[in-house]
Amino acid sequence: MKFIDEAVIEIQSGHGGAGCVSFRRERSIPLGGPDGGNGGKGGDVILYASPARRTLHQFQFKHFFKADNGTPGKGKDKTGKSGADLTIDIPPGTIVSDYETGNLIKDFTNAEETVVIAKGGRGGQGNAGFKTSKRRSPRFAQPGEPEESLKLKLELKLLADVGLVGLPNAGKSTLITSISGARPRIGDYPFTTLTPGLGVVQTEWAEPFVVADIPGLIEGAHKGTGLGDKFLRHIERTRVLVHLIDASVIDPDNPLQNLRIINTELEQYNHGLITKPQLIVLNKLDIPGAQEKALAFKQASDEADVITIAAINGMGIKALLSAILLLLDRADAKVE
């Protein structure tokens, strides 16, 4: 299924039903009074953050959503039927804003949140409601209140504890496969991963955490190069970053080059990203010559802790998970 993380939709609540103009007509009561009932209320449009939704895919082809109208009132003081509410499921992490003004309406940061985004029109009052001692035979009723219409922009930002970043072919998909139940497509060519992926990591000694694999970061990504900034938004909500580097391609004469490329892109896209706690991880230590290049990186770097792993065979994974959990604990402590 194609990953869709932006959509524009139009929503419309239900129109209120009109009030009824009617008079009681029975053989024994030739001059019966007004008995027109009220119109039914129009249906509301409700947004629901469904845990079952992962993308905005359902809005790729359908862009207009409308709740039912209320039905008109009837004689004998019968109220019209209210229009059914319309509930639209969206994935948790969706930001909803007014398309015309850009104003934020709701940020759905938690699953199962609901918001009435457009209220249905109230039903009009029937002529029975206008009867008074001086006005015994009103021959008018209220129309139903109009519906509410909105054009909405939906933007999905994945909710994850850890954002996994790095150049293409650094081994991010292999790593997320080795530490979680996620199963992204893996190949030996750039841009293997075309969609962000989420994986839940479980350990025997701590609470599970969620990792997001962010694809498509190369030099110039913040300007749209490669897959561009299409997926950078998905690391804005993460608590910490794990920066994965392919140790086998490190240039001994400029060992920090790849690290600087990604960090520059993060800073250019959103300065707040570069301030997130970051763990540097050198991958593919199983490839001949990678150990020496990793040593050159460590000697050039001012990072106190640089983790070395080989995701393909599990080498160093336990130490990596411990380091990630420690970084998450530190991030939580700062928030508190």
Mean pLDDT estimate for the chain: 86
Specify the pLDDT at position 158. 75
**Of 251, 312, 321, 231, the residue nearest 279 (C-alpha):** 321
Contact 92, 107 (CB under 8 A): no
Strands 197-201 and 64-66: unpaired
What pTM was computed for the model? 0.69
Q: What is the per-residue pLDDT across 265-291, written as a single tens digit (0 to 9) for each?
A: 888 887 678 889 999 999 999 999 999
CATH superfamily of 1-156: GTP1/OBG domain (2.70.210.12)
Contact 39, 70 (CB under 8 A): yes
Specify the pLDDT at position 221. 44
Domain boundaries, the chain: 1-156, 162-335
Give the distance, in angstroms, between the CA of residue 60 and the centroid of all CA atoms in the same chain.
Answer: 15
**Crossing angle of helices 317-335/172-179, nearest 10°?**
90
Range of weakest confidence among 100-109, 110-119, 260-269, 321-330: 260-269
Instruction: Sort 156 into a burial class: Cβ within 10 Å, 0-12 / 13-18 / 19+.
Output: buried
Q: Which fold has domain 162-335?
A: Rossmann fold (3.40.50)
- Whether 1-156 and 162-335 share one fold: the answer is no
